[in-house]
Each structure stands twice: as structure tokens, then as C-alpha cells.
A and B are shown apart, each in its own frame.
Chain A
Amino acid sequence: MSDTGKQMMSPAMAAERVAAGLAARRGREKRFRIYGRIAIGIALAFLVTLFVSIFSKGIPGFFQHYVTIEVALDRAKLDPAGDLSVQSLYDGDARGVIRTALYEAAGASGRSGRKAAGKIISQGAEQRLRNAILDDPSILGTTRAMTFAVDDDVDSFLRGFIKRETPEKDRRINDKMIGYIDVLNDKGLISFRFSDYLVFGSASRNAEMAGIYGALVGSILTLAVCLVLSFPLGVATAVYLEEFAPKNRVTEIIEININNLAAVPSVVFGILGLAVFIGTFGMPRSIPLIGGVVLALMTLPTIIISSRAAIRAVPPSIRDAALGVGASRMQTMLHHVVPLAMPGMLTGTIIGMAQALGETAPLLMIGMVAFIVDVPGSVTDPGTVLPVQIFMWADFAERMFILKTSAAIMVLLAFLILMNAAAIVIRKKLERRW
């Protein structure tokens, strides 16, 4: 080998040159490491900002101001027909009864004074009074302390978003109202407590009455439809493709198809629902049934892909053992492989359901964005879902809607975290290491 003309650099010289460059290289190393830290810092800072921004508004959103007044429940005024029917209660003058009590408590007098005081209490108060009577008719004829939500502008004032110092014409509540609010406050009649409207109320254009109950029920119904369809279909498809499907062109097309479906933007599934179920089949809009079907088609790829991975993770020795004692392929599958793969399948399904729970765009397309006051009783009643409710509320400018939207987001996030935690627990608990 010594026939080469070129000389190697001596180790000593090489070491010298290496040493010369070291400081600069260490500097570059340090900088690179810092870039990585900065990147992670940015990502975590975003996360913190997002959660702080939601939680700082959402936690106050779980509470609202209520006023407690002594209401004289005059039977003749409230139940003119005297039969305690809903119709009779509606014909009665619940509003007048409440207002009278309010004027008394706030010391309001005069036409303008009463007008101002009347605006303090929520429009939902009458319904609440009627419900109280329906629940317990024996309260009629007595005088009771009853608690009603205040109007959302009053609530904003009490929270300090509407400032006393603002000139009267620029704020949504006038000086007279502020005076009465002060009176009520001094008497200790105004309280800040957990918002029952948020949890038990439904869609309402009045911020103080708005709640997520209807949307929550809608979400549950929609998810139920989604689960009932996507879980069996997803598992059946995974079993077929993984264990039985002949390896041919058709199977290949199905597999490519599933991968492509996983990449299709969710809004396109909404278009599918709109064009096929509503357009072609003429099904009604806004119903959880179609929402569930659309979400099921959307989550199917997720479930199929994770179920296939779970089946693949079952070692061949289990199959060989079952086949070896004379079980048919189907028996091997149903008695041995599927039960063993079940934790993985369930995990994938829960993650798919969590995706479906947070999905908004496709449901907008099939009309679940309609303003629906009634709580859906079945999958064919018009309804909405939690994310869509959040979307709709986000459009309203009222301060209280912003708070309630954030609170609704917290509820949604709580469900999502719960589902993901469940998936992790199932994976940890039931997963077998081979």
C-alpha cells in the first residue's frame, strides 16, 4: 500500500487542528441545544396561554349573579283559571308578581323608576316562577323568598365590566338601575353563585339564561349513534382486512381508500351528509341521527386502523394454537384473537369518539347549527351539539356569552380529557405484553 504518493496527516497535527476548532464547535452545540429548548418553550407557552385564556374566562362563567326577593304568590294573579294547568299559568301574570316584589325590594317608584328596576331581573324569572308552582302548587298563596337570575347587563355591571364611571349614555344600564342595584346589594339580596342556567339551561338568546344542557344531550345522542355504527363496522372491517381478505386488487383498493378517508378534511364529510342524506334521501336537517352517521363515517378510518394494529399485535402463536386443536379460522378469530385485541380496539374507538365529540364543521353542514331551544328527546329530534353550541355562542358579543362559552369549552375539554384518560387506563390495564 505504500505505493501511494499522498501522505497522511500526522496524528499530532490532526489533534492540533481538532483542538483549534473546538471552542467554536462547542458554541454551535450550545446554540443548537438552546434552539430546541426555545421551541419546546414556545409550544408550552402556547399551551399555557390557551388554557389560561380559556380558564380565566371559563371559571367565572360557571357563576352568575342572582337576586333574592320576597314574592307574594297571589293565587288569583298566577293561576287565573285555578286548575294549575300550564295554559292557566301562562295566562297568569307571573311577570307582574315578580316585578311588584322587585319594586318593593329595590324601592322603585314612578314610571321610569319601575321601568329601570324591571330591567334588572332576567326574562327567565317568570318561567322559573311557573316551574316552581308546577313543582309544588302548595306554595301558592304564600309569600316566599325566591331567587332569580339578574339580566346579563346587570351581571356585567356587578362583575365590573360595565363601569360606573362611564358616562350614562355610553353604558347599557342607566344611573337609575345602578341606584336600584346598589339598594339590592346593600340589603344583601344579590348573590354570586353557581350558575344553574349554564348546566340545566338550553339555547337562549338571553345570555343569563343560556345553558349547555340541550347541546350536551345532543352530543350524547350523536355520539351514541356514532358509536353504535362505527365500532361494529370498524372492528368487522379490521377483522376482515387483517384475517380473511384475500390479498388482491380489491383489498388493496379498500386499504388505500381507508387511508385516504383518514386524510379527507372533516368539512367534506359534512358535504357528504348534506348531499346524500339530506339532499338525496330527503332526511330532515339538524337531527343527531344524521350527525352520528356522518361522524361515524369520519371516525371509521381511525377505528379500523387502530383495530388492525391491535389484531396484528396478537402473536401468531395464539392463532396457531387454536387452529392446531381444530378450530376453524372464524372460531379462532372470534374466540381468541378478537378478545385479545379488544383493549387496543377499545382504545382506538375511544380516541375516535373523542375526535367526534370535538368535531364541528361537518355538523354545521347538516344543519345542527340551528337555534333549537328544546332538548332533543331522541335521535330524530332536532338538536345541536356542544362544539356547535360553542361556535354559536362565540358569535355573540355579550360579555356573559364570552364567559359561558369559555365555561362550555371547559366542560367539553373535561369530557375529552376524561375520554383520553380512559383510553390510557384501558391501554395500561388490559394491554398484554407478549
Chain B
Amino acid sequence: MRTPEVGVTSESRAPRGTGPYAVITRLDVPASRLPVPAPVPVPETRYIARGPDGDRTVLVSVPLAGADPQRFMVEADASRYLLGPWAYPATDLARPGEAPWHARPYLPALPLPTALAVHGGPLPERTVRALGAALAETLAISHGQNLTHAGVSPAAVLLAVDGPRLTCFGAVRAAAPDGTARTGLPGLDPGSLPPEQASGGRPRPMGDVYALGATLAYAATGTTAPEREELPPALRSVIGRCLARDPGDRPQLAELQESFSPASTSPVATQTASRAAALLGPGWLPARVIAAIAHQSAALLSAEPDSLAPAARTAEPGPIAPAARTQD
């Protein structure tokens, strides 16, 4: 049996540019340190940070080096209006003239790639189905608001105990303007980038379906472009169709919701506002993922940032590494 070791570095030095929030730790484990087959990039740098009153702990994002700060902030601003239980809208933004960042209240959660690392491999089919249903519902709500997410990728999905949270809104639009090829850009995961967007097309709703398929493929296999046989048999067809090159061949979100969350299997669903919620009951997350989320929460409860007044910083802090545990 293992016991956790608090992975928060007390000598944290925050980078500049997180507004009033003092950085405690990074959210993401660098891809190079994740023992998953195919490392996936993260389109922004995410920190868990704390406000000057000590009461507000937030998840704060800053753009990658070299990114366009203006486009980054435009997407952050639009994300404030996202709705649905698994959206994770920004609630606080950098003021004009300030270095770009955006923040929302912290919730204990693991990025999908970290969850795979903690679990020790691909996630169970039950988890993948629940993710698929919740994310499809979230995207359907966004599309109903005339918002194309354009940023769905494995790193964009956080797993919290009550369901996923979809982040990185607009990452594709922020990475490069429409009309410019988006291949090879830092932060963009090529596996979950729809072909029409990679070639510079304006992100449209069916691109989100492609990206969702790639993300679910990653959850089920550890890679966004698995061989068909690697996928669980029951999910092969639906995920395969999401990944069709022609947007017209991809399934509608309503159909996805139906296939992940068949009405007959969820008697509770008719009584709850959300059908996906019925799939998120006890057992939807593997044991070690819950343990790692609890560990992250405990580590942050006991963490104190070095200084709550952001000052000159030198080194970047390391993440709370769920793998940083010692054998008994």
C-alpha cells in the first residue's frame, strides 16, 4: 500500500502575470514526465493559485510563450458565458493593459492525461461513456449558444469527482487566425485537431465532434489516433464516425448523447435535468483517480504560497505530482 507525499513545493516561485493570484503549483504534469504512450500538449499554462485574502483559490491560465495575448483574452472573455454543469467558465480576467491571464474558482480535478497516468493506463469503458455523455451535452449547450468550443483535447478535459470540466475554450482560434494553417503550432494537439481546422478553416460545431471523438479515443486507449481494434468494441463505431475527415459524415451531438447514455439504462435520467448526470454516480471514476483528486485537494488545503503579493519570480514551481508517492 502506498501513502501520499505532499507534492506541493513550499518554495514555490510564481511566474509573473497571474494578476492578484500567487501561484501555489502547476496543474499539469509536463507531458514528458507522464508515462502515457503519446504525450499530449496543453494549449495554455495552468496554475493553482491563491488570492491575497487567502480565501480564494483559483485555477489560473496564462498563454504559452509566443502566443497572441489579444486572441487569448478574446477567447477567455467569451468563455465567461459558457453554461452547463460541466463547463468551467472564466470568472476573473486580466484587466486591459495587464499581462494576459484568466481564472475561475479552484475545484479538485485532474487533467485527463494525468488521470490516465494515475490509473495506470486507459480508463474503463464506464468512465469513457460518462465522459462522452457529459462532454457531448456540454458541447450541445455551447452550440445552442452559438459558441463553437474549438479547443476540445485530452488536456482540456479535467476530471472532478462530480463529473468532467471542459476547459481551453477557443484554443484553436487563439493559436492562429482563420486562414492560416494550424499544423505544428505549440499547444495544439494534432490528434484532436479536426482536419478542416488544421488547414486554416474557421472552427465550426462539427469540428468539436471530431475533437470529442479523439479525446474519448485517448481516454479509452491512451492515444488520440488508436487502431480501431484498440477501442472497446461497443465504442468503436461511434468514435470512429466522430473521426471522419468529412464533417458531414460525423454524428450529431444528440446522437452521441443517445449512444453514450441510452435512455433505457438510466431510469433516473428522466428525473434529472441532465441525462449524463445519471452516468456520473459512485464508481464512474476509478479508485486511484479519486484518491489522487483527494490527494490534490488535501495538498492544496495545507499549502501556503510563499507570498501573496506577486513579486519578482525566478523558477517555475513544479506540479502536484500524483505519482510522487513512495512505496510502502
The answer to whether A and B belong to the same complex is no
